[in-house]
Each structure stands twice: as structure tokens, then as C-alpha cells.
């Protein structure tokens, strides 16, 4: 049943052909069987899941369920969950149990979704391969020797391996789209401010945005609609009414995308993309044309500056955001230390992994007296230029399409000693975060080694429904998103 679409699962639940307890049990059994192969979960919450499932069944029996009532789901371990471990992939929080739920968690609880566990991630969401987790790397369900992408690699792998039908994630520089692409599923990062950041452990506040993973765009829409909405506890949360992001995921006629102008940034197609990725992306674009869309070349001249700008702004914010992990009130504290300063140094040296330390150092440096203007202020200016590029491009097109990642999933250990190579794997995704735009990744075929390739669709602000509708049309005539990795 977990392999079915959300719509079908919800109908079966409503018609009492299956119970939420049966679904939760099925999901937990799949985790038991599948997780040892991919290490997608840090924590499973069997008792909590079954209790939530029983409550969901009562609601469903009373005819009160919604589209997510009784649906098993997993949360990225960056979201605080009351009473359940929230580690953020770090030794620093290896024993941290939050006394409160993140806004997203409480919304999904209220919707009746059944959380079965918390998924693995790069420590504090810093990484593109899930290798930076204190709890060991997550493996790609398509090939256990490959990375699932990051930082939301655990959620992407869990959905790809059909352990859960949906999962939450966060995307600061591509952390939903890139693992979705590498694992062959659909993932969306909405417009900045759509999903409350309250209770989502901050990496880079001005870039972090929660989002959804599912096999299909239609299912992503259901999850995202339940996660979104104004939250007065997050000052950057948009004051917009809730909306049905699936409203354009409707049955289609022969030319469902007639009139849609797809912009292809020439910079994305110029160099850097591997041949197998290029072939899959081109084939997907041909499919879009078949569906009635036209393609037009656009330009994002400053997109090449996205990585340097990002690697100033994100570490700057991170260096400050992560200061609270000082060993004083919660989290890891060194067993032995001299004075106060020594306690800070030892606790943080022991509690944080290498990549987190690297970004704290970079961030501290770029904010330092005498360097602030040259780095931080300049990066903010670049950010503005990048956003302007997108604004200009959207005068010529309705959505922008391109690759998500220059390569298919790479090998575990292949790039972990070379941070710059690792950073370059986000070259097509980062500009979107700097501009605050919505974007999704959907399966577009397979490349070398039978590994999935994703296509990225970038929308203008608040165009989530259009992005999801567009991807949905594609998924109605293709079956890439229905392929299941062997052994799952």
C-alpha cells in the first residue's frame, strides 16, 4: 500500500480498506528491513507512530480525516519533535530531546500524519552528500556505494526506498532538490517564508526553507500544502493565506502545457554538466515540448557568482546561529575542562564535525572587523544581482528549467576530501536560495550506472502550484518517478 499514491492511500484509509495502524506497521517493517542497507533513519519512533496511527484511525472512523490523516511520514532530523530525539546529525545534539514541536511538526501532527521516525542528514544541514553525519553516511538506494545527496539525504533515500511515502526536508543551497535528483524522487523547496522556520534548527536563516519529498509532484503538493502557512513565531514567515498547491495537478488533455514558456539559462547548459545528465535533461525538455511547452533561452549572467556569495553568507549566519551550542544549557559538554573558555573550546571541538567547523571558521572570518565589507556586504550585493537576473529572466518565460546536479550520485568518499568539488555539486541549485525562489526537482531519467537524473524547475515567487502542476503533467506521460530501486 505504501507504494501507492497519497490519493489512493487516503481513499483506502477513508474506505477503511486499510487502517492507519496497518500502514504504520508496514512502514516500520520496511524500515526494519531496508534501513540497515541505507542508514536513512537516525531514530524510529515505533510507539509514538502506533499511538498516532490509532488516533488517526479514530478520526477516520468518525469521518474526520484529511488528506494526510493516517499517512506515515518521516521528518528530517533538523525539525524539533517533542519527546523524540532531535540530533541534527550532530554529536553536539546526539542526546537532545526537544521539549517542543517545530511548527511544521505540529501542523502535520494536527493533520493526522503519522511520524515513524527522524531521518539522517549532513550535520546541521551542511553538506551535499550526507557523509557529514555523526551517525554515519546515508547510502543511495539505487547503489549503496553512492551518496544520496544532501543535506536531506536521509529523507530522500527513505522515500526512494519506499520506506515512507512522504518526508520533510530543508533546502538552504539545494538540500532538497539535489538529494531528490540523486535518489530519483520529487522534492520541492517553496518560496522563502512559505514554511515556518520555527523549530527548524537554523543553519543559514536567510536561506533555510522547509519543503517536501514524495515520489510524485502531486504528492509533494499534498504535503507542502499541509506544511505551509503563516506562523507569527517566525518573523520571516509570509503573511499569506493557506493554499492548495495541488490545484494545478489536474487531469490533462493532449497538449496540457500549451502556452507554457520554459526558460533555459544558457549558463546552465554551457559547461560542467556531465554527458549522461545532459542527455536525460534534453530528453525531458523534448517531452515538455511534446506536451505543448515552448523553450526559450534566457540568461542568468551572475549565477556563476552564486557559489562564492553563498559560501560567505551561509557560513556567516551559521557561525552566529551555532554559537548557542556552547555546552552550557544542553547538548554536548566536554567531560573534562579547565576554565570557562576551555569548556567552550573542548565542548565545541568535540561536538562539531569537520565541515561544521570549517564553515564556522569561514563565517567568523568574513564577519570580522576589517573583512565584513569586503566579504559579507559584497556577497549581499551579489545576492541582489542574482535576484535581479531571475526577475529579468521571468519576463521572458514562465518557469526556468535546467539540471539539478552536474552529475549523477557520486561515490561515498569520492569528494569528501575536497570541499570545493563538493561545493560545486550545488552549482545549479544555490542561486535559487539566494533569490528566495521556489524550485523543484523531478525524476527525468537515468544516467551512468543506472543512477537517477533530476530536472529542476524554478518558478517565480509564489508559483509553487504552477511548478507542481507542470511537473505533474510531465509525470502523467512519463514513469521515471514510478521506478523503484532494486531490493526495495
Partner 1 sequence: MSRTDWEVVIGLEVHTQLNTQSKIFSGASIAFGAEPNAQACAVDIALPGVLPVLNKGAVERAIRFGLAVGATIAPKSIFARKNYFYPDLPKGYQISQYELPVVVGGQIHLLVPDGKGGAYEKVVNLTRAHLEEDAGKSLHEDFHGMTGIDLNRAGTPLLEIVSEPEMRSSAEAVAYAKALHALVRWIDICDGNMQEGSFRCDANVSVRPRGQAEFGTRREIKNLNSFRFLQQAIDFEVQWQIDLIEDGGKVQQATVLFDPDSGETRAMRSKEDAHDYRYFPDPDLLPLVIDSAWIERVKGELPELPAALSGRFQGEYGLSAYDATTLTASREVAQFYLDTVAAVGSANAKTCANWVMGDLAARLNKAELDITASPVSATQLAGLVARIADNTISNAIAKKVFEALWNKEGDSADAIIDAQGLKQVTDTGAIEAIIDEVLAANPKSVEEFRAGKEKAFNALVGQCMKASKGKANPAQVNELLKKKLG
| Residues taking part in catalysis | 76, 151, 175
Q: Decide: helix, strand or coil at residue 187.
A: strand
Judged by CB under 8 A, the stretch of 130-138, 199-207, 351-359, 396-404 that binds partner 1 is 199-207
Site for partner 1 (CB under 8 A): which residue of 22, 26, 276, 326? 326
98 phi, psi to nearest 5 deg: -75, 140
My answer on whether omega of the bond before 151 falls inside 30° of 0, hence cis, is: yes
What is d(CA 355, CA 341) in angstroms, rounded to the nearest whole number? 22
Q: How distant, in Å, are the alpha carbons of 72, 163, 168, 400, 407 from that of 37?
A: 20, 12, 21, 36, 23
324 binds partner 1 (CB under 8 A): yes
Site for partner 1 (CB under 8 A): which residue of 61, 328, 374, 392? 328
361 binds partner 1 (CB under 8 A): no
Give the nearest distance from C-beta 48 to partner 1 in angstroms: 19
99 binds partner 1 (CB under 8 A): yes
Judged by CB under 8 A, the stretch of 13-21, 213-221, 320-328, 411-419 that binds partner 1 is 320-328
Give the nearest distance from C-beta 438 to partner 1 in angstroms: 19
Judged by CB under 8 A, the stretch of 33-41, 57-65, 210-218, 322-330 that binds partner 1 is 322-330
Residue (268 or 375) nearer to partner 1, CB = 375
Give the nearest distance from C-beta 97 to partner 1 in angstroms: 11
Would you call 276 exposed, middle or buried from its count of C-beta atoms within 10 A (0-12, 13-18, 19+)?
middle
**For 221-310, where are the E strands, in sequence order?**
261-265, 294-298
Instruction: Answer for the pair 4, 216: CB distance below 8 angstroms, yes or no.
Output: no
236 binds partner 1 (CB under 8 A): yes
Residue (101 or 218) nearer to partner 1, CB = 101
Strand partners, 446: 452
Judged by CB under 8 A, the stretch of 16-24, 113-121, 166-174, 192-200 that binds partner 1 is 192-200
Would you call 271 exposed, middle or buried from its count of C-beta atoms within 10 A (0-12, 13-18, 19+)?
exposed
> DSSP secondary-structure letter at 487?
T
Give the nearest distance from C-beta 131 to partner 1 in angstroms: 22
Give the nearest distance from C-beta 202 to partner 1 in angstroms: 7
What is d(CA 459, CA 443) in angstroms, rounded to the nearest whole number? 17
234 binds partner 1 (CB under 8 A): yes
200 binds partner 1 (CB under 8 A): yes
Strand partners, 186: 214
232 binds partner 1 (CB under 8 A): yes
Neighbours of 110 (CB within 10 A): 12
294 binds partner 1 (CB under 8 A): no
Angle at 412 between CA 411 and CA 413, to 5 degrees: 105
Cell representation of residue 405: 546536479
Give the nearest distance from C-beta 480 to partner 1 in angstroms: 35
Cell representation of residue 41: 533513519
By CB under 8 A, name the binding residues for partner 1.
79-80, 86, 88, 93, 96, 98-100, 102, 197-202, 204-206, 232-236, 316-317, 319-320, 322-326, 328-330, 340, 344, 364, 367-369, 372, 376
Amino acid at each position: 500500500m505504501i507504494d501507492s499514491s497519497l490519493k489512493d492511500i487516503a481513499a483506502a484509509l477513508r474506505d477503511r480498506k486499510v487502517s492507519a495502524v496497518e500502514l504504520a506497521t508496514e512502514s516500520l517493517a520496511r524500515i526494519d528491513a531496508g534501513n540497515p542497507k541505507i542508514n536513512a533513519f537516525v531514530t524510529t519512533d515505533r510507539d509514538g507512530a502506533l499511538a498516532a496511527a490509532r488516533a488517526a484511525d479514530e478520526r477516520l472512523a468518525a469521518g474526520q480525516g484529511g488528506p494526510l490523516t493516517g499517512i506515515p511520514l518521516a521528518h528530517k532530523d533538523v525539525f524539533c519533535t517533542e519527546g523524540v530525539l532531535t540530533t541534527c546529525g550532530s554529536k553536539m545534539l546526539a542526546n537532545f530531546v526537544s521539549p517542543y514541536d517545530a511548527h511544521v511538526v505540529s501542523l502535520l501532527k494536527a493533520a493526522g500524519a503519522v511520524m515513524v521516525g527522524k531521518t539522517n542528514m549532513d550535520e546541521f544541514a551542511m553538506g551535499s552528500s550526507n557523509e557529514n553525519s555523526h551517525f554515519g553516511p546515508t547510502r543511495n538506494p539505487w547503489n549503496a556505494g553512492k551518496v544520496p545527496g544532501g543535506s536531506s539525504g536521509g529523507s530522500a533515500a527513505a522515500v526512494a526506498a519506499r520506506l515512507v511515502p512522504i518526508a520533510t526536508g530543508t533546502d538552504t543551497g539545494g538540500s532538497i532538490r539535489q538529494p531528490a535528483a540523486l535518489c530519483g524522487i520529487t522534492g520541492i523547496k517553496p518560496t522563502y517564508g512559505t514554511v515556518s522556520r520555527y523549530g527548524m534548527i537554523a543553519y543559514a536563516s536567510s536561506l533555510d526553507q522547509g519543503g517536501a519529498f514524495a515520489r510524485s509532484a502531486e504528492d509533494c503538493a499534498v504535503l507542502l500544502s499541509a506544511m505551509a502557512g503563516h506562523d507569527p513565531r517566525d518573523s520571516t514567515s509570509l503573511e499569506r493565506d493557506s493554499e492548495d498547491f495541488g490545484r494545478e495537478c489536474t487531469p490533462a488533455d493532449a497538449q496540457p502545457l500549451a502556452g507554457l514558456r520554459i526558460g533555459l539559462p544558457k549558463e546552465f547548459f554551457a559547461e560542467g554538466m556531465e554527458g549522461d545528465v545532459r542527455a536525460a535533461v534534453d530528453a525531458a525538455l523534448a517531452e515538455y515540448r511534446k506536451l505543448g511547452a515552448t523553450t526559450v533561452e534566457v540568461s542568468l549572467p551572475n549565477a556563476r557568482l552564486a557559489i562564492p556569495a553563498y559560501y560567505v553568507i551561509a557560513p556567516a549566519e551559521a557561525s552566529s546561529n551555532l554559537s548557542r551550542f556552547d555546552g552550557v544549557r544542553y547538548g554536548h559538554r566536554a567531560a573534562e575542562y579547565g576554565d570557562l573558555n576551555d569548556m567552550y573550546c573542548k565542548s565545541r571541538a568535540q561536538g562539531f564535525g569537520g565541515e561544521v567547523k570549517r564553515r564556522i571558521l569561514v563565517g567568523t572570518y568574513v564577519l570580522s572587523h576589517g573583512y565584513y565589507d569586503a566579504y559579507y556586504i559584497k556577497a549581499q550585493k551579489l545576492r541582489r544581482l542574482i535576484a535581479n537576473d531571475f526577475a529579468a529572466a521571468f519576463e521572458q518565460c514562465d518557469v526556468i528549467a535546467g539540471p539539478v546536479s552536474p552529475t549523477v550520485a557520486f561515490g561515498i568518499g569520492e569528494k569528501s576530501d575536497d570541499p570545493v568539488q563538493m561545493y560545486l555539486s550545488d552549482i545549479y541549485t544555490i542561486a535559487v536560495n539566494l533569490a528566495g525562489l521556489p524550485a523543484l526537482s523531478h525524476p527525468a531519467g537515468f544516467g551512468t550506472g543506472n543512477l537517477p537524473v533530476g530536472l529542476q524547475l524554478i518558478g517565480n515567487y509564489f508559483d509553487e502550484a504552477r511548478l507542481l502542476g507542470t511537473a505533474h503533467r510531465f509525470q502523467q506521460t512519463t514513469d521515471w518517478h514510478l521506478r523503484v530501486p532494486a531490493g526495495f
